[in-house]
Amino acid sequence: MDTRQDVKDALRKKERRKRLDMNSNSSLMEHITKMEPLEFAGLARLLGVAIIEDNPDKEAEQKVIPRSFTDVFADVMAKFDKLGRAR
Q: Is the pLDDT of residue 75 over 90?
A: yes
Has residue 87 been placed in a domain? Answer: no
Residue 42: predicted pLDDT = 93
Span 55-69, average pLDDT: 82
The answer, yes or no, to whether residue 73 has pLDDT greater than 70, is: yes
67's CB contacts (< 8 A; 6+ apart) are 50, 51, 52, 53
Residue 46 lies in a domain: yes
Range of the domain at 23: 2-82
Domain count, the chain: 1
pTM of the entire predicted model: 0.62
Look at residue 27 and tell me if it is in a domain: yes
pLDDT of residue 78 exceeding 70, the answer is yes
Distance, CA of 72 to CA of 74 (rounded, Å): 5
Query: Is 80 exceeded by the pLDDT of residue 19?
Result: no
